[in-house]
Amino acid sequence: MSKNILFSAKNIVKSFHGTQALKEVDLDVYEGEVVGLVGENGAGKSTLMKIIIGVQPQGSGEMYLRGKPFQPHDPLEANAEGIGMVYQEQSLITTLSVGQNLFFGHEKEFMQMGIVNWKKMYAEAAAVLSEVGCEDINPRKKVIDLNFATRQMVEIAKVVNVTKEASTDGKCLILLDEPTSVLNETEVKRLFQEIRKLTAKGHSVIFVSHRLDEVLEISDRIYVYKDGENAGNMNVADATEAILYERMVGHETNSEYYHLDKQVIPKEEVVLEAKDLGCRGKFKHVNFQLHKGEILGFCGVVGSGKEEICSVFCGDESPDFGELIVKGRKTKYSAPYQALNDGILMIPMERMVEGVIRGLSVEDNIALSNAGRLSKRGMISRKRVSEQAVEWIRRLRIKTSGKEELVIQLSGGNQQKVVFARVLASESDVVILNHPTRGVDVGAKEEIYGLIRDMVAEGKSVILLGDTLDECIGMSNRVLIMRDGLVTGELDAAVDAKPSQVSIISMMV
């Protein structure tokens, strides 16, 4: 590794309305290295990234790029200096094509006599995509027609392209904030290959993630932030998941991660049943039963059909074939409220878009799914809304200045905790958890696993689309495996009979 410092942040301080997000943090990045940045939800990671890219200014402190003072006023200025960022929230314009997104703001370069030379733009877009190993993405396709994983690869291609163009002589710095959260394992591998290609050319990357195994795999050095302060930095050779966890959370992981001691044996009673269920072009011949008090894990790669089946249970889509039986009654939903009336609720994967109303307060968001229980003679009791919020803020350790704070002001992971609180507080007895721990820090993950166990112990039933195979196996009583729209296997996952990852993967691919 070259020893020239590419970027430095020194004594960075940032406050928001009384919340001190960063208290004099430092961060150095050498040329050609990947710096991992980890910390609990609300530790200040995204805030620092936004300061580096020029979205918001720091309160005090200095930054240096290639040894010179660096203070971008907006992301375009940072791009022009060779710093680019892929955001946690997707930033592509979905109504435009991939090519238009890649060259957004640079259309002039393709103008000939006042009109855009589309052929040229798409040819160049194809070249950019192939440079990041995504030659299979059609640059003419509208972003809205792409799945989230593909969109993420387009975002990365865009950023790599912008910064590369900006600095032909110098080295670039790419900021990746939770880049793998919507990627499957193959795509993560591809991303890591891409990152390694970039660093081999002397460019550098800051990699922010809650997935400690990935941080350990891709980083050269790792910084840990805790409550807006540096809680240590180390070479990857000196780091383990346990060390990082301890620095982040302040204590060692003390309980069994998946709370296997609390795994209960489901009841006989069937709450939801699929009989030869099918949706044209998405999945077919799906049969299974979900029992009271059961956690049923669905495993499969993106496109296997597992997400689409869940859309049928929660009323987002209607099946074309077969039967859906809920609590003994044959049914078919054409809207989510109908599923909700039957006690079925889903945490959506894109919960930043669908799961939370960001302009509402923390307490009102938590109350969204159980307004009925909180009302008296048709009037919502503010007192109950407030009491409920205080309880969940405490249980999930939601980092907020108070229950009245707007959700938009919370860090990404804390927004997710709010969505989770909403589901846990709901009266639904069948809960579909689509990647419930994505973007949530390791400490909160453990708590969420404990809460899921409590939910099923109380008699709720859960369909789990886990963030990792490990999570799916660890938490479930049984797993269903899907490939190309078909169920390819069903395995018992009792406490003493957990299937191996290898046996599941062999049925997934």
What distance in Å separates the CA atoms of residue 142 and residue 211, rounded to the nearest whole number? Answer: 30
The most distant pair of C-alpha atoms in the chain lies apart, rounded to whole Å, by: 73
36 is a site residue for ligand ATP (CB under 6 A): no
Q: How far lies 301's CA from each of 65, 132, 211, 374, 481, in Å?
A: 40, 21, 18, 39, 9
Looking at the Cβ atoms of 40 and 316, the one nearer to ligand ATP is 40
297 is a site residue for ligand ATP (CB under 6 A): no
Stretch that binds ligand ATP, among 112-120, 250-258, 410-418, 452-460 (CB under 6 A): 410-418
39 is a site residue for ligand ATP (CB under 6 A): yes
101, 150, 152, 411: residue in contact with ligand ATP (rule CB under 6 A): 411
Stretch that binds ligand ATP, among 39-47, 62-70, 120-128, 360-368 (CB under 6 A): 39-47
351 is a site residue for ligand ATP (CB under 6 A): no
43 is a site residue for ligand ATP (CB under 6 A): yes
Contact criterion met (CB below 8 Å) for 250 and 226: yes
Whole-number minimum distance, CB 381 to ligand ATP, in Å? Answer: 27
Using a CB cutoff of 8 Å and minimum separation of 24, what contacts does 393-402 make? 393/362, 393/421, 395/421, 395/447, 395/451, 396/420, 396/421, 396/444, 396/447, 396/448, 396/451, 397/443, 397/444, 397/447, 398/362, 399/41, 399/42, 400/362, 401/17, 401/18, 401/19, 402/362
What distance in Å separates the CA atoms of residue 7 and residue 235, rounded to the nearest whole number? Answer: 17
418 is a site residue for ligand ATP (CB under 6 A): no
Looking at the Cβ atoms of 390 and 505, the one nearer to ligand ATP is 390
Q: Taking the CA atoms of the chain, what radius of gyration do you get in angstroms? A: 24
79, 163, 414, 434: residue in contact with ligand ATP (rule CB under 6 A): 414
Looking at the Cβ atoms of 229 and 317, the one nearer to ligand ATP is 229
Q: Which residue's beta carbon is nearest to the bound ligand ATP?
A: 413
180 is a site residue for ligand ATP (CB under 6 A): no
Tokens of 269: 């009673």
Whole-number minimum distance, CB 87 to ligand ATP, in Å? Answer: 11
399 is a site residue for ligand ATP (CB under 6 A): yes
Give the count of residues interacting with ligand ATP (CB under 6 A). 19
What distance in Å separates the CA atoms of residue 161 and residue 129, rounded to the nearest whole number? Answer: 9
Stretch that binds ligand ATP, among 35-43, 147-155, 186-194, 267-275 (CB under 6 A): 35-43
410, 421, 463, 473: residue in contact with ligand ATP (rule CB under 6 A): 410
Tokens of 419: 């969505």
184, 409, 468, 501: residue in contact with ligand ATP (rule CB under 6 A): 409
Looking at the Cβ atoms of 96 and 216, the one nearer to ligand ATP is 216
149 is a site residue for ligand ATP (CB under 6 A): no
Calculate ∠ Cα 152-155-161, nearest 5°: 145
State the distance between the two ends of the chain, measured CA to CA, in whole angstroms. Answer: 37
DSSP state for residue 264 in the 8-state scheme:
P
| Nearest of 202, 208, 214 to residue 239 by alpha carbon | 214
250 is a site residue for ligand ATP (CB under 6 A): no
The 3-state DSSP class for residue 199 equals helix
46 is a site residue for ligand ATP (CB under 6 A): yes
Looking at the Cβ atoms of 305 and 412, the one nearer to ligand ATP is 412
Q: Contact positions toward ligand ATP, by CB under 6 A?
A: 16-17, 19, 21, 39, 41-47, 399, 409-414
